Homo-oligomer: A and B are copies of this chain.
Amino acid sequence: MRLALTLLLALTTVPCAAQPHVDVAKSLVADALKDDWGYAFLEGLTTEIGQRLAGTEAEARAAEWAAAKLKSAGFDEVHIESFPMTAWVRGVESGQIVAPAPQHLVLTALGGSVATPEAGIEAEIVLFRSYAVLAAAPPGSLAGKIAVVTQRMLRLEDGAGYGAANPIRRAGPSEAAKRGAVAYLHRSLGTTNHRVAHTGALNYTDEAPRIPAAALANPDADQLERLAARGPVKLRFTLTPTTIEGARSFTVVADIKGRERPDEVVLIGAHLDSWDLGTGAIDDGAGCAIVAAAGKLIAALPQRPRRTLRVVLFGAEEMNYSGPAYASAHADDVPKIVVANESDFGARPIRIVEVPQGAAASDFSRALIDVVTPLGVILGRNTARDAGDDVRPLARAGVPVLALRRSAPDYFDIHHTADDTLDKIVAAELAQNIAVWAAFAYLAADSAVDFRALAAQQR
């Protein structure tokens, strides 16, 4: 009996082949939870640079700043790449209810919007509580009017309300213009009832005139709903944005060279550009801090992982350039990327790991869940098909993606608004993110798991 117990004990405690690798990941977690380098990175980025609008001098300074930080953090090779873009720069933005009850309106231009005349646009509104009703309105029905859509975006844990509401902002301006509208306003694609408006890029079509377009703060949309229910409402608003043709954006790339398979790359990214209204703390300074700090912890290990770990801080994500720019510049490298992931949904704690297709039962996934379970993370029911804008073109080109999901019902209270500032970040939550990301990045880089092959076996 005693012998049997001894044997059993020996069997359960004898390290399996993967144990040292797991122990290293656990030590990374412990290091991450007591290290403040990631928070200091975010504090520095949002303070010393602040807003980092794509294609502007501020974004260029941010790239230099981040490259210097990554160099000092022990990465083996850090460089900046550059690509051309058309920049869009916000000007004056102001709005008023002219009649029946004069009142200041809080609104913000959509990224890419054309300017109004300098004196503004003044017209009666046609208000739609549902975007579908605007989309079904007949041609000419909005002639000379300001179209206003007040449909409300849903607050959901995973942010799915945003995707569903996105056409209101992206397609709404041209849909309104097709029907004769002279300008377009919509309720912010945001969940806060504070008087901050939510910007974001629009997409004009070529089939309609380009009309000025802006987002209203939620209480302002409410006010217009109440007034429109009582009778005609006249508004005036002024936007004076400008565009810069031939601007440039930047991608910062930092590598930790693999000790055995340097040509195989685990790519973790975030985007360095931000909207100009806040200082880009949750979107996406936090993501940059998370992937940079995860890399820094791995760079400090006594031994390099087997594969190369690449941290990429993308430029001009908010203006839709980042993913395509990287994927096209690195088309030859795509086959070498064994797995990719990005962090672009704030810094609330990671709760769910979605592993690539076919990888749920792999040694890699078992090790990762073992390491991150104490951090309050579970294995998701789904496998990752998408990890975000920056790596989407890589995913489409066949790169397996992994996703680390947060529960963040308040993300769209802040995202794309003036409220996106450092005070919205909880340092301990940021540290949990860094711990999970460090564990994932290390385990993926130090393993031999072939995610492409696992996915192929599933098909």
Contact = CB atoms under 8 A, between A and B. Distances in A.
Contacts of A226: 43, 47, 422
A278 B43 contact: no
Contacts of A43: 226
A100 B195 contact: no
Contact of A196 (B47, B58, B194, B218): B194
Given A104-B277, A279-B103, A419 B50 contact: no
A2 interface: no
A206 interface: no
Contacts of A195: 196, 278, 417-419, 421
A119 interface: no
Contacts of A227: 47
Given A277-B104, A419-B195, A223 B424 contact: no
A192 B421 CA distance: 13
Contacts of A104: 51, 276-277, 418
B101 A421 contact: no
A103 B56 CA distance: 13
A50 B102 contact: yes
Interface in A97-128: 97, 100-104, 106
A50 B276 contact: no
Contact of A279 (B223, B278, B418, B424): B223
Nearest to A219: B421
A219 B279 CA distance: 10
A51 B226 CA distance: 15
A370 interface: no
A422 B227 CA distance: 13
A218 B423 CA distance: 9
A44 to B, nearest CB: 9
Contacts of A230: 47-48
A163 to B, nearest CB: 25
A93 B226 CA distance: 28
Contacts of A417: 195
A276 B105 CA distance: 11
Contacts of A243: none
Contacts of A193: 421, 423-424
Contacts of A97: 50
A222 B103 contact: no
A424 B217 CA distance: 14
A49 interface: yes
A101 B52 CA distance: 10
A456 to B, nearest CB: 49
Contacts of A103: 50-51, 279
B423 A222 contact: yes
A47 B101 contact: yes
Contact of A101 (B50, B219, B277, B422): B50
A421 B223 contact: yes
Interface of A: 43, 47-51, 58, 97, 100-104, 106, 192-196, 218-219, 222-223, 226-227, 230, 276-279, 417-419, 421-424
Given A195-B278, A222-B422, 5 more contacts: A50-B97, A51-B104, A193-B423, A194-B196, A196-B196
Q: 4 shortest A-B CB distances, which residue pairs?
A: A219-B421, A50-B103, A195-B418, A47-B226
